[in-house]
Amino acid sequence: MALETQRSPLKNVKIFDIKITSTPKERLLSYVQRKIDSGDKLYIVTPNPEQLLLAEEDGEFRNVLNNAEISIPDGIGLVAAYKYSTMPRPKSVVKRIFALVRQGLQVGKAILFDQKWLQSDLKLIKGRVFLLDLISLAAVHGYKCVLLGDEKRSAQKAVAKLKEKFPSLQIWGFTGPFLDNNGMPKSNRDILSEERLIRKVNKISPQFLFVGFGAPKQEKWLFRNFDRLGFNCAMVVGGTFDYISGTRRHVPVWIENINMEWIYRLLTGSQRPGRVLNATFRFVTRVFLNKLFKG
């Protein structure tokens, strides 16, 4: 696949050798619109702390993330990790340990009380919010949108809700094939389903393609079929369709504002404890050790 990320004017940083786009959201939206209007093709990923941990162990997934033209920081954990990594690192190992613990406490406190400082270098962009921004852009400019979801008809349910909000929106929703963790169809039936799905997408030739198969399946599937699919801008969206349709409960706004969504999801059972553990304690430990030993 021919991607021109090297000539992109977007600003990027790295966390665990994974590229993260640090360009503000408004500029990203303008950039996407220019790419569409010029007939170019790109895809957007939405890495979070759990996915960065997975990418360290899965080279293919890491490659897919790093080849995306836009990689938005979808999680306050990424923002905090980058701020932490840019703080001074003493040369003395003993001094370094105490300094890193002190810095960690400072960053942790900032998550609750000093968002301006915390996001001064890398601003949080929530994937589900960015998706709705792109949908709004499509409604204004008459762009076509296709949503690809799971067997529970998540895409079709989301389409129904979006049409209520944007009556003139040109939008379609389809169910994707069953995929393994490598983004490959699980059976011959799924291979045929994938072929039919690609033909449907190409017949519509949308400006926006939103893929919600769950990570890392959706990223690998999109990367593998990038050249076979007719679209301008594709974005992986995880479980966002469920939030749009109302199938999954929204986190209360006041909890979102203090960036404690993971606690809410853990207490309400809306996310498995193992995933919450990865996205918080395991990720924090990995960030600390990375700075302690690697700098």
Q: Identify which of 87, 51, 44 has the alpha carbon closest to the alpha carbon of residue 69.
A: 44
Percent of the chain beyond pLDDT 70? 86
Question: Average pLDDT in the 162-170 region?
Answer: 96
> pTM for the whole thing?
0.90
pLDDT above 50: residue 272: yes
Alpha helices, DSSP H only, in the chain? 25-37, 49-57, 59-67, 76-86, 93-113, 115-118, 127-141, 154-165, 188-204, 217-224, 240-245, 253-257, 261-268, 273-277, 283-293
pLDDT tens figures, 43-74 = 999 999 999 999 999 999 999 999 999 999 99
| 3-state per-residue secondary structure call for 167-224 | CCCEEEEEECCCECCCCCECCHHHHHHHHHHHHHHHHHCCCEEEECCCCCHHHHHHHH
Q: How confident is the model at residue 2 (pLDDT cuts 50, 70, 90)?
A: very low
Q: What is the largest CA-CA distance in the chain?
A: 62
Give residue 168's pLDDT: 94
Question: Average pLDDT in the 131-136 region?
Answer: 98
Give residue 246's pLDDT: 86
Give residue 280's pLDDT: 73
What region does 202 belong to: left with phi over 0, alpha with psi -120 to 50, or beta? alpha
